[in-house]
Structure 1
């Protein structure tokens, strides 16, 4: 979802300045170390024109962090609709693929 704070989260995790963040057009990738793991974080733009391409980023993906601005109640609803639409297209019902919502 656009304007949700994805880039700010990724930049903060990387120790970067988050004061001047602009919308992500396309995607960006950063690698960070977390404990003993090397994580490749893909920051994918959330604009409606880009959403049709989201499914292209699923190959070799071990997890998704879905970010929605919880202060905007309309975005919460549309964000969950977009997530489930995407998962319906890409995830087989294997039982090992779980969606776990985190509280705001």
Structure 2
């Protein structure tokens, strides 16, 4: 499990303390979508071997001098999904990760996303969909995934979709900078 860290920055010759603003972001998606690999890559810059998450992993991602995100990676197995709602308190953004190379599980992902977004704690909370595994030749396009997940139907919600590769580290930093911007807009 990854550990969260507290970051305090001294400014003005040590006379005042400025605490970074930390926003809580929940990382959800079906099992094997690559959530833990993605979080580990973001936090360490390296690929780490992961096992199916039972419970959660958490870490702090520093985006700039003033902003950091506390990212909660919640297990995606079918037996864990009823517990997702317990992680939504103080959530400022939902990052939903899908395996863009697994067409057969898109209906299941669409159903899981729709169910979690119906929770009243997520009302008005922005959504970032990460189409992971874009490095694989069998991956779907952003448009295909958007349609499969029925994203256009969420017209009352701020949302974005971006392709990424947790394994290669492609698009991750940019995606979480966009998450930060979505939080500020909401």
TM-score w.r.t. the length of structure 2 is 0.50
Counterpart pick for 2:104 among 71, 74, 85: 74
Runs of 4+ residues over 6 Å off in structure 1: 93-96
Structure 2 portions without partners, runs of 5+:
1-29, 126-154, 165-186
Distance in 2 of aligned mates of 1:74 and 1:26: 25
* Counterpart for residue 102 of structure 1: 162
Cα RMSD after superposing both structures = 2.2
**Deviation (angstroms), 1:14:** 0.4
Greater strand share, structure number: 2
| 1:85 CA drift (Å) | 1.2
1: CA distance, partners of 2:34 / 2:63: 20
Larger of the two Rg values belongs to structure:
2
Could you tell me how far apart the structure 2 residues matched to 1:67 and 1:49 are?
A: 18
Aligned pairs for 1:1-104 (under 5 A) are 1-15=30-44, 17-35=46-64, 36-90=66-120, 91-92=122-123, 97-102=157-162
The alignment's TM-score, normalised by the length of structure 1, stands at 0.85
- Structure 1 residue ranges without an equivalent (≥5): none
- Give the Cα–Cα distance (whole angstroms) in 2 for the partners of residues 73 and 30 of structure 1: 30
Aligned residues: 104
Distance in 1 separating the partners of 2:94 and 2:50: 21
